[in-house]
Structure 1
Amino acid sequence: MSAKPVPSRMTAAHEGDVVVFHIGMRINSFTAVRSWWPVFLAMPRMLKELSRTPDSGLLGFRGLLGSPREVELVQYWESKEKLLAYAAAADQEHHPAWAAFNRRARQGNGNVGIWHETYLVPAGSHESVYVNMPPFGLAAATGSAPVARRGETAAERLG
């Protein structure tokens, strides 16, 4: 069941640094299920693992559909150090999934593509507004507050 809209103007309560990580996959050949299905299944395992570990650094995430070929995930992290530590940890889900993807990519003739973008957002360099929305995005990951707490306009919220 989805959350109920909050009938007012809200903003993300988070005021510190945040890392915004976009990651996605693109199915280049729908018929090559053996190439893209394992990639598709890897992310839910990683998210489950991260969600079970409160000090992992993952604050929250949201999945997006770009098109029938594309799946994207937006993640919010405490720090780049925690994101990079997870990516490099040999005993975590990411490391074997990445190795398996690379093996399949060498054999798969480009049947599936993956990508990511990482944004380091310093404190005071982000703002948000949610009107008649349930907690969403950064606010869902870190909590929300009435807009007046951080400023009535985007310019005020950005300082």
Structure 2
Amino acid sequence: MPATPIPGRTTAALEGDAVVLLIGMRINHFWAVHQWLPVFLAMPRMLRELAKDPARGLLGRVLLTASPRTYYVVQYWDSKESLYAYAAAPDGYHHRMWSLLNRKERAGKARQHVGLWHETYIAPQGGHESIYFDMPPFGLAAATGVLPVERRGRTAAARLAHRPADTAPADTPGT
């Protein structure tokens, strides 16, 4: 994230649906380092893999911690299809790690030393908006670009109602 804030109010430049994946882990037993450390290290490897191939669809991400036990990533994707394709791609690191976890679970070797979770949100155009005040590009704006808030509207309602020029309803004569 650039250190220099953009003065005033800005909004994310995203046109269309917002595809957001929250994915993370919880360390259930700190002493079981051999169990949770490989999981902890897998996410940065996946993010590097995605950064090397922008065509896979990851637009941006934010790494966060909820506690000393819980770590997660907010990911912004160009489409749900791209997200699904990466998750299932046999050449991707995610697929290899998920396959390994499933094999361990079937063999009864999976332990409850580390918890995994994800939540996926698809917010259609008109179902998401953003505003940033004196902030460097962050979150959705860092992933999709920044616009002056006036381009979308000064209020949340106006930003939610925004439609790109090519999808805006046509003017009806006499209205």
* TM-score after normalising by structure 1: 0.95
Deviation at 1:29, TM superposition (A): 0.2
Q: Which runs of 5+ in 2 are unaligned?
A: 162-175
Alignment of 1:128 onto 2:130: yes
Task: Report if the CA contact (8 A) 2:101-2:110 is conserved.
Answer: no
* Coordinate RMSD, CA, aligned: 1.4
Amino acid corresponding to residue 141 of structure 1 in structure 2: A
Deviation at 1:58, TM superposition (A): 0.5
User: Residue 91 and residue 157 in structure 1: after superposition, are their counterparts in 2 closer, same or farther (change >3 A)?
Assistant: same
Q: Which runs of 5+ in 1 are unaligned?
A: none
Quote the Cα distance in structure 2 between the aligned partners of 1:6 and 1:123.
25
Residue aligning to 1:156: 158
Residue aligning to 1:93: 93
More strand by share: 1
What percentage of aligned pairs have identical amino acids?
A: 61
1:71-120 C-alpha deviation (Å, 9 max, x unpaired)? 01000001111101111111111111112233455424300000000011
Residue aligning to 2:20: 20
Residue aligning to 2:116: 114
Amino acid corresponding to residue 132 of structure 1 in structure 2: D
Alignment of 1:31 onto 2:31: yes
Quote the Cα distance in structure 1 between the aligned partners of 2:100 and 2:34.
12
Quote the Cα distance in structure 2 between the aligned partners of 1:111 and 1:69.
11
Quote the Cα distance in structure 2 between the aligned partners of 1:156 and 1:2.
28
Other structure's SS at 1:86 match: helix
Quote the Cα distance in structure 2 between the aligned partners of 1:25 and 1:65.
10
Deviation at 1:124, TM superposition (A): 1.9
Residue aligning to 1:42: 42
List aligned pairs for 1:49-68, cutoff 5 A. Answer: 49-68=49-68
Q: How many residues align?
A: 159
Quote the Cα distance in structure 2 between the aligned partners of 1:70 and 1:38.
15
Task: Report if the CA contact (8 A) 1:35-1:104 is conserved.
Answer: no
Other structure's SS at 1:115 match: strand
Task: Report if the CA contact (8 A) 2:9-2:134 is conserved.
Answer: yes
Residue aligning to 2:84: 84
Task: Report if the CA contact (8 A) 1:76-1:141 is conserved.
Answer: yes
1:3-60 C-alpha deviation (Å, 9 max, x unpaired)? 2111110000112112100000000000000110000111111111111112111000
* TM-score after normalising by structure 2: 0.86
Which has the greater radius of gyration?
A: 2
